């Protein structure tokens, strides 16, 4: 970062640019947050009899300060894309000039908040290698300015989008999407809480009682169907707002993903910065033959994660992505002679799951004693839980393994749902050898590989094999 005068551009295509004047909207909000302490203090003094007469003057001065700081921030922030890279100039009293070489751009994220969609404006943040925070954050950029920053590789509406049904289905089986769903459900429940919710329930119960349908099986089925329909509607809205359409494009240097219709978000990482790949296929996705492809990119930023998830992919699409990363296709991985974990590890895992089943039986017995559950319901829940845990253990024992080829480690964890993890050993930054009392007794080691963004673990492998892998990783680091 240089405290120097901004040099003049050499060509007309490298002129310094300023974002749209509509960028004042988020900048005003940012200014209000920065002056929040003064605003609260002024509000407190306004109610004081001693300072009440000065309140209009103080309010006027504070308003001018907020508007003035936002305008100065907008006017003093300039950027350009030159032969040297991306340059940013900002500040009034203390001028700052930042130059970021294009080769150092680690991650570029593009968002289009709902208030910018009618104006076709965007916000952009850039991170570089070796940084702990964002170097660039620009808001209110036009499509032409965004294209200038992104370069040639851009996902557009000309690229094919993943079908809506696959995106909608992914909201059911992807755990990272449950949090927004819970937030939406919580907001709905909070609106129904209190007197309004009690009045609606009371009116509904009275209507059912008058119609003689309070204990009707048909009405209970209809109510359950209505709840399922409401959940499906919420998932449709989630998919449309956050996830659909989904455009993915790659070139020789980078990957870019654009998701969302109302809250549009774009992420981009360099192809060589992909640290780890995960292929997830939960049990529901296995029925439909769908996968989620998770790219873990390298980032030093503590505020943003360089990871994006490509939802609802078919087998041929997954193979295409893996081959483009110069990795084995999934159809070829399924034919590998996987190295298995030792049977002792699965015997221990069976004991642990048996302990969980025993604990569940004690909890259900307590609920039966307090009459919160009926005997038939309790036995049904216990049976289903035990069946699920044991079936998943059996499937994991049958379908699992790891394989090393061309300095790339492939880890397969099967079960009712399946997961493949692919790690190029040259991306490993730390290796840990862990040996508990159980592992020491059976001369086994747990081996964990950590990258800059993600890790994988070999649960139980022989001592000598673990040390060989450890030495192999160390040789690649030198």
Rounded to two decimals, the pTM is 0.66
pLDDT of residue 155: 45
Asked if residue 132 has pLDDT above 70, the reply is no
Confidence band for 385, pLDDT divided at 50, 70 and 90: very high
Cα separation, 47 vs 50, whole angstroms: 9
Q: Which residue has the tokens 């090393």?
A: 404
Confidence band for 302, pLDDT divided at 50, 70 and 90: very low
Cα separation, 416 vs 391, whole angstroms: 7
59-105 confidence digits (pLDDT tens): 777 778 888 888 888 888 888 887 777 888 887 777 777 777 766 66
- In this prediction, residues 329-335 reach a mean pLDDT of 89
pLDDT of residue 12: 45
460-475 confidence digits (pLDDT tens): 999 888 888 888 888 8
Tell which residue, 98, 172, 194, has the closest CA to residue 138: 98
Strand partners, 315: none
């Amino acid at each position: 970062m240089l405290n120097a005068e901004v040099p003049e551009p050499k060509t007309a295509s490298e002129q310094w640019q300023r974002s749209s004047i509509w960028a004042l909207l988020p900048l005003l909000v940012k200014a209000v947050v920065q002056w929040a302490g003064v605003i609260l203090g002024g509000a407190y003094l306004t109610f004081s009899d001693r300072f009440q007469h000065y309140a209009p003057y103080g309010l006027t001065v504070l308003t001018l300060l907020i508007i003035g700081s936002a305008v100065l921030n907008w006017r003093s922030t300039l950027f350009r894309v030159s032969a040297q890279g991306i340059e940013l100039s900002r500040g009034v009293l203390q001028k700052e000039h930042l130059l970021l070489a294009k080769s150092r751009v680690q991650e570029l994220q593009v968002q289009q908040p709902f208030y910018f969609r009618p104006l076709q404006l965007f916000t952009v943040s850039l991170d570089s290698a070796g940084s702990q925070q964002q170097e660039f954050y620009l808001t209110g950029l036009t499509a032409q300015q965004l294209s200038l920053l992104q370069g040639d590789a851009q996902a557009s509406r000309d690229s094919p989008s993943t079908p809506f049904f696959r995106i909608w289905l992914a909201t059911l089986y992807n755990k990272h999407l449950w949090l927004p769903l819970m937030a939406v459900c919580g907001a709905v429940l909070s609106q129904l809480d209190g007197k309004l919710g009690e009045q609606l329930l009371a009116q509904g119960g009275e209507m059912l009682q008058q119609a003689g349908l309070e204990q009707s099986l048909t009405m209970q089925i209809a109510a359950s169907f209505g709840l399922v329909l409401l959940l499906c509607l919420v998932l449709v809205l989630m998919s449309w707002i956050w996830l659909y359409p989904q455009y993915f494009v790659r070139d020789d240097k980078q990957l870019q993903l654009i998701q969302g219709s109302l809250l549009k978000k774009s992420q981009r990482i360099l192809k060589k910065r992909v640290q780890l790949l995960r292929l997830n296929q939960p049990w529901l996705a296995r029925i439909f033959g769908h996968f989620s492809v998770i790219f873990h990119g390298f980032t030093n930023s503590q505020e943003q994660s360089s990871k994006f998830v490509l939802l609802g992919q078919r087998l041929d699409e997954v193979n295409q992505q893996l081959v483009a990363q110069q990795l084995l296709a999934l159809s070829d991985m399924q034919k590998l002679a996987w190295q298995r974990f030792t049977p002792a590890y699965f015997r221990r895992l069976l004991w642990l799951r048996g302990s969980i089943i025993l604990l569940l039986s004690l909890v259900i017995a307590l609920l039966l004693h307090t009459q919160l559950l009926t005997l038939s319901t309790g036995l049904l829940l216990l049976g289903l839980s035990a069946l699920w845990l044991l079936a998943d253990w059996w499937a994991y024992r049958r379908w699992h393994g790891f394989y090393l080829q061309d300095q790339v480690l492939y880890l397969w964890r099967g079960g009712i749902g399946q997961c493949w993890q692919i790690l190029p050993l040259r991306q490993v930054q730390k290796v840990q050898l862990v040996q508990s009392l159980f592992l020491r007794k059976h001369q086994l080691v747990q081996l964990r590989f950590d990258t800059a963004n993600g890790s994988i673990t070999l649960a139980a492998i022989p001592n000598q094999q673990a040390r060989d892998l450890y030495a192999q990783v160390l040789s690649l680091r030198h």
